[in-house]
Amino acid sequence: MGNSISDGLPPPSVPRSRKASDSRTEAAAVADIAPAIEAEQEISDEKLLIAVGNSKDRQAFDQLFKRFAKRIFAMGMKLTRNEQLSNDLVQEAMLTVWQKAPLYDLDRGTAQSWIFTLTRNRCFDMLRKLKRQPSTVNADDIWPQEGEHDGNMVHEEQGSQEVEIAQIEAYYEQLPDAQREVVEQIYIHDRTHEEAAEHLQIPLGTLKSRLRLAVGKLRHLIGIEQ
């Protein structure tokens, strides 16, 4: 298997269209419009993953499944040399993609790299289980995804000391654009994390990590001043 020529699909190097898009369901929308496989090639893996994480977009997940199932199977064959295990790996890894998509952070790497490390982790755990090794640790302890353990920190940090509003505004202006727009969404427009991520077209995980960085920086600046 794996030797079939890609059934008339255009090569992956098809230039990506740069059309402006603010629709969160772009992936789904495009997939709806046409069976045009060509269109599927234009949507980046990151966009699909964002659609899955931010709006549980089933069509986008379907696309990711199509793009990665064989690759995951191949990694499984390489590490386990067992077809059944490799099929199980496809299932487990794609389930993790679905479950953890909201934690994907654009600022920390590509969607491919995210799926690669997540597949490695699932495979590592499968092999440990097969060898009946003690469950003292698992792959996610060995390769922690930063941001996974501190999802709540932003909430905890909301109750800060009293500071002059004007002072905060001055610091706020100093934040890098990417962080400032996140703070703006949450604290000025009073949007939920989910709404803000959708509006900015970034993964929820990225929103949270940028917010954490921004809040940390503001607190730091305020701390120095006092």
Partner 1 sequence: MTDKRALHPTETMLEEFATGNLSTGKCVAIAAHVELCAECRQRTSEIEAQATLAWLAETGSDSTESSSDYASLVDSIVAQPQFSDADEFAEQDAASPVREIHMHERSITLPSVLARIASDGLVWKKLAGGINQASVMLDDETQCEFLYMKPGSQVPVHKHQGNEITLVLDGSFSDAMGNYGPSDFVVRTPSHTHQPASDEGCLCFAVLDSPLTFTKGLARLFNPVNRYRFKRATSQRV
Applying CB under 8 A, which residues contact partner 1? 2, 4, 6, 9, 11-12, 40, 53, 56, 58, 61-62, 65-67, 69-71, 74-75, 79, 91, 94-95, 98-103, 109-110, 112-113, 116-117, 120-121, 123-124, 128, 131-134, 136-137, 139, 141-144, 148-149, 151-152, 155, 194, 204
For partner 1, the closer CB: 123 or 186:
123
φ/ψ bin of 4: left (φ > 0), alpha (ψ from -120 to 50), beta (otherwise): beta
CB of 82 to partner 1, least distance (A): 16
Residue 77 CA, chain-centre distance (Å), reads 26
The closest alpha carbon to 48, from 66, 70, 74, belongs to: 66
For partner 1, the closer CB: 83 or 225:
83
Q: Give me the DSSP letters along 106-153.
A: GGG--HHHHHHHHHHHHHHHHHHHHTT--TT--HHHHSPPTTSS-TTH
CB of 173 to partner 1, least distance (A): 30
For partner 1, the closer CB: 54 or 175:
54
CB of 41 to partner 1, least distance (A): 9
For partner 1, the closer CB: 73 or 172:
73
| 83-100 and 45-55 helices, crossing angle to 10° | 60
For partner 1, the closer CB: 53 or 209:
53
The closest alpha carbon to 24, from 205, 197, 183, 193, belongs to: 197
DSSP 96: H
Q: Which residue has the tokens 């234009």?
A: 42
CB of 25 to partner 1, least distance (A): 15
CB of 223 to partner 1, least distance (A): 23
